Structures are given as structure tokens and as C-alpha cells.
Amino acid sequence: MTEQRIKEDLVDSKDKPDEEQGGDLDQSALNAEQLDEAGTNEAALSKLREQVEENWNKYLRVVAELENFRKRSTRDLEHARKYGVEQFARAVLPVRDSIEAALTVAETADIPALVEGQRATLRLLDQALENAGVAEIDPHGEPFDPSKHEALSMLPSAHTEPNSVLEVVQKGFEIHTRLMRPARVIIAQPPAEEEGD
């Protein structure tokens, strides 16, 4: 019941003759209670409307923050794809410069100087790879590990333990513990027993 309706009921009950109102005294008290209750309900409704408005505003802020986060993440991912190798490229530039210098002096330099230049270039490249988190896998003498090694063949060996790496044909590489290329190896097997007397 609305407040206006309750007020009308109260006015109507005052206009009735006393004999009719005799039984309606309880009704008047009831109408007064309803009026108080309507005021309380109106206050509660007003409070609920405020809460709804506040929750709606919170929802809109969260949606906006989520959209901003999505855009920022997309932008950061694009940036990482474009410029993620920049540090590695800077580390490799001295290697390129060293190779270029070696080619320039190759015709006039003697063999030991060229070999030393190649070693220096290899050290520069190894340092650049190490700075990028790339580690070399050189498993000579270690037990064969199929998760890091690729077996090319098996050779009998009396000096190397069976199922261990006898020779490394090509070194492997991993980046931050993720395998980039397995080491290509030859595995030792027990020597064939000679048929006896």
C-alpha cells in the first residue's frame, strides 16, 4: 500500500459517524502502523536503490579495468614479439664485426693469426648466447639421455661404459632448460666377445 492510500483511509475513517468508528478504532491503529511501516519500507527501498546504483558503478569500473588490462596485455605482447630479440641482436653484433674484420685481413694474415681470430669470434658468440640464456650440451662420457641426446650409432668400446656417450658429433643447445637442439652422439656398447678356443 502506498503512503497516499493509507492517508486517504485515515481521512475516510475520520469522516465516518462515531458509531461506525467504534469498531474502526482498531482499524485506525492498524492504519497508523501501516503508515509507519510504509515509511520504513520507503526508506529501505531508497537504501536498496542506493546499493543498486553503487554496485552498478562498481561493475562498470571493473569492466573498464578489464578492458584496459586486455588492451595493455595485447600491446605488451606485440612489443615483446617485435623487440624481444633486441638484446640478443646487440650481443651478436660484435660477432658480426669480428667476422667482417677477419675477412678484411684474411688475404694478408698468416694462418695462426686467422685461427686466433676465429677463436676470439667463437668466444664472442658463446658469450652472446650465454647472455641470452642459451647453454651448450656437450655430453661426452655421460650416460645416454634420450631427452637431450640423439643417437646416431653405437660402437663397441672397452674403455667407455656401455650406454654412455662415446663421441659427440654435434653439440646440443638448450635455452633456459628447454631443449633447442639435441646433441648428436655415438653411444658406447660393450665390446663383442671373441669366440674362445
- Per-residue pLDDT in tens (0 to 9) along the chain, 197 residues: 455 665 565 555 555 554 444 455 566 666 666 666 767 788 888 899 999 999 999 999 999 999 999 999 999 998 888 887 888 888 888 888 888 888 888 888 888 888 898 899 999 999 988 888 899 999 998 999 999 999 999 999 888 899 999 999 999 999 988 999 999 999 999 887 755 44
Angle subtended by helix axes 3-15 and 25-83, to nearest 10: 170
Q: Are 154 and 160 in contact (CB under 8 A)?
A: no
Q: How far apart are CA 98 and CA 117, in angstroms?
A: 8
Sign of CA dihedral 18, 24, 26, 31: negative
Query: For position 187, what pLDDT does the model report?
Result: 95
Q: Are 180 and 195 in contact (CB under 8 A)?
A: no
Query: For position 64, what pLDDT does the model report?
Result: 96
CA angle at 165 for the pair 160 and 170, rounded to the nearest 5°: 140
Instruction: Output the nine-digit C-alpha cell for 44.
Output: 529501505
Q: How far apart are CA 162 and CA 105, in angstroms?
A: 48
Is 155 strand, coil or helix?
A: strand
Is 119 strand, coil or helix?
A: helix
Strands of 178-181's sheet in order across? 134-137, 172-175, 178-181
Q: Are 1 and 34 in contact (CB under 8 A)?
A: yes
Angle subtended by helix axes 86-105 and 111-131, to nearest 10: 180
Query: For position 2, what pLDDT does the model report?
Result: 55
Beta-bridge partner residues of 137 = 172
Query: For position 70, what pLDDT does the model report?
Result: 96
